[in-house]
């Protein structure tokens, strides 16, 4: 890495509080891309707000918000080509939007209905979108890290120039897969960008109790790769750092560990109450560093933002999400037959017998067998 390299120093940043870009730091993205990034970040927040409201109303069973972390994952993913692959954690809802996954596919997954790609087999917000090279999200912490390393090693063996990006939180760095994944990727120079979204909390465990290292990025040296610490609330800084890491990987120079320093403004999930363990004063300080407001000030200075455009983005997002929810709630639950589909090409004799036994139970109350969400 060059000017964006860092260890335990202050995270690399570009955007100043007033919206100005630091001298000689601005990646000078096209107006079209700048506006696209902003629209995705705002739509991500609207999506999160609507989904949490649905959960509170009992219409879906579970949700995880990315409130305050929009710049971190949207900026990182924007550095990839569409042909590159993503191995996400469960707090990057802006990436499917960035890759233009239909809203119906996203919302159907919340409900686990018959339109859901996974037919209700995953928890809500555990997406899988093959058309977007977005690998299935897994609840066990860190497993995607070693999966991305393996995929990257395979690409290197094939000799293609595909790059893989894995996301995980600061808590994920304590998983076995963090060591295994980074170690193998470093040894075999796998074309992987490991993005640790350090949001300061692994549910209720603070960063200080997660690691004794001066930073997450500094651990990269143990695996023979560069480690970069970047301001995760600065979409331009995240984009630039990840773009350099992606280009390095594509040239065959191996993996990079990027630590995006950000903050989880919401609770861990709809099942958590962060107010029970977090300092309200620190929370308010991070709120002042809102990544969307910060980016908005930059766009305003470049004459790319107007109040009318802001209103248009919000109204369009709310309307499209509302319509997608209406369609999702109108769809039936997955059929009982779907329990046996998509696992084996040909059902085993045992599964044929089990399917017949289950369908024999079908009656007035049978729909409860397919109840979802949780």
Q: Is 63 a catalytic residue?
A: no
Q: How far apart are CA 349 and CA 340, in angstroms?
A: 12
pLDDT tens string 309-358: 999 999 999 999 999 999 999 999 998 888 888 778 899 999 999 999 98
Number of H helices, E strands in the chain: 11, 7
Q: What's the pLDDT at 360?
A: 86
Q: Rounded to the nearest 5°, which phi and psi values hold at 73?
A: -85, -30
**Which helix (H) or strand (E) covers residue 295, if one does?**
helix 291-301
Report helix, strand or coil for 331: coil
Q: What's the pLDDT at 363?
A: 61
Q: Is 156 a catalytic residue?
A: no
* Residues of the chain above pLDDT 90, percent: 88
Q: Is 289 a catalytic residue?
A: no
Closest CA to 75 of 138, 15, 141: 15
Q: How far apart are CA 36 and CA 16, in angstroms?
A: 21
pLDDT-derived band at 6, boundaries 50, 70, 90: very low
The pTM assigned to this predicted structure is 0.93
* Pairing status of strand 164-169 against strand 192-198: parallel
CB contact set of 152 (below 8 Å; sequence gap of 6+) = 163, 164, 185, 188, 190, 191, 192, 249, 255
Does position 366 have pLDDT exceeding 90, yes or no?
Answer: no
DSSP string, 213-254: SS-SGGGGGGGTS-EEEEETT-HHHHHHHHHHHHHHHHTT--
pLDDT-derived band at 131, boundaries 50, 70, 90: very high
Structural domains of the chain, ranges and CATH numbers in brackets:
31-330 (3.40.50.970), 336-370 (no CATH)
Rounding to the nearest 10 degrees, give the CA dihedral for residues 211, 217, 219, 225.
160
Residues β-bridged to residue 259: 196, 229
Closest CA to 230 of 68, 10, 15, 25: 10
Q: How far apart are CA 136 and CA 130, in angstroms?
A: 9
Query: Length of the chain in residues, anyone?
Result: 374
- Which one of 100, 277, 319, 371 is the catalytic residue? 277
Rounding to the nearest 10 degrees, give the CA dihedral for residues 322, 325, 327, 330.
-130
Q: Cis before residue 68, ω within 30 degrees of 0? A: no
- Which one of 99, 147, 268, 333 is the catalytic residue? 268
pLDDT tens string 266-314: 999 999 999 999 999 999 999 999 999 999 999 999 999 999 999 999 9
pLDDT-derived band at 364, boundaries 50, 70, 90: low
Once rounded to an integer, what is the mean pLDDT over residues 129-137?
Answer: 97
Out of 92-96, 130-134, 311-315, 361-365, least confident range: 361-365
Once rounded to an integer, what is the mean pLDDT over residues 78-101?
Answer: 98
DSSP string, 34-95: HHHHHHHHHHHHHHHHHHHHHHHTTSSS-----TT-HHHHHHHHTTS-TTSEEE--SS-THH
- Which one of 73, 264, 294, 333 is the catalytic residue? 264
Q: Rounded to the nearest 5°, which phi and psi values hold at 34?
A: -60, -45
pLDDT-derived band at 5, boundaries 50, 70, 90: very low
């Amino acid at each position: 890495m060059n000017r964006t390299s860092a260890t335990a120093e202050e995270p690399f940043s570009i955007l100043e509080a007033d919206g100005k870009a630091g001298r000689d730091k601005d990646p000078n993205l096209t107006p079209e891309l700048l506006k696209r990034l902003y629209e995705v970040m705002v739509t991500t927040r609207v999506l999160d707000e609507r989904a949490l409201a649905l959960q509170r109303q009992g219409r879906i069973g579970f949700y995880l918000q990315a409130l305050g972390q929009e710049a971190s994952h949207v900026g990182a993913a924007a550095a990839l080509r569409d042909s590159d692959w993503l191995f996400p954690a469960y707090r990057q809802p802006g990436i499917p939007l960035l890759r233009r996954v239909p809203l119906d596919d996203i919302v159907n997954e919340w409900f686990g209905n018959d339109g859901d790609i996974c037919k209700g087999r995953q928890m809500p917000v555990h997406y899988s979108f093959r058309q977007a090279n977005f690998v299935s999200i897994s609840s066990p912490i860190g497993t995607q890290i070693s999966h991305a390393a393996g995929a990257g090693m395979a690409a290197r063996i094939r000799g293609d120039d595909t790059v893989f990006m894995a996301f995980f939180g600061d808590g994920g760095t304590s998983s076995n897969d963090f060591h295994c994944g980074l170690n193998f990727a470093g040894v075999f120079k796998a074309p992987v960008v490991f993005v640790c979204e350090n949001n300061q909390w692994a549910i209720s465990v603070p960063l200080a109790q997660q690691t004794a290292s001066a930073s997450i990025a500094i651990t990269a040296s143990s695996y023979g790769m560069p480690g970069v610490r970047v301001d995760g609330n600065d979409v331009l800084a995240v984009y630039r750092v990840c773009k350099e890491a992606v280009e390095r990987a594509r040239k065959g120079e191996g993996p990079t560990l990027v630590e995006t320093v950000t903050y989880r403004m919401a609770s861990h999930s709809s099942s958590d109450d962060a107010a029970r363990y977090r300092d309200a004063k620190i929370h308010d300080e991070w709120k002042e560093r809102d990544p969307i407001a910060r980016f908005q000030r930059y766009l305003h200075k470049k004459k790319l933002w107007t109040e009318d455009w802001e209103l248009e983005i919000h109204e369009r997002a709310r309307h499209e999400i509302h319509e997608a929810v209406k369609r999702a709630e109108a769809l039936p639950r997955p059929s009982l037959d779907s329990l046996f589909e998509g696992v084996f090409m040909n059902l085993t004799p045992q599964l044929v017998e089990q399917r017949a036994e289950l369908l024999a139970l079908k009656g007035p109350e049978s729909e409860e067998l397919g109840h979802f969400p949780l």
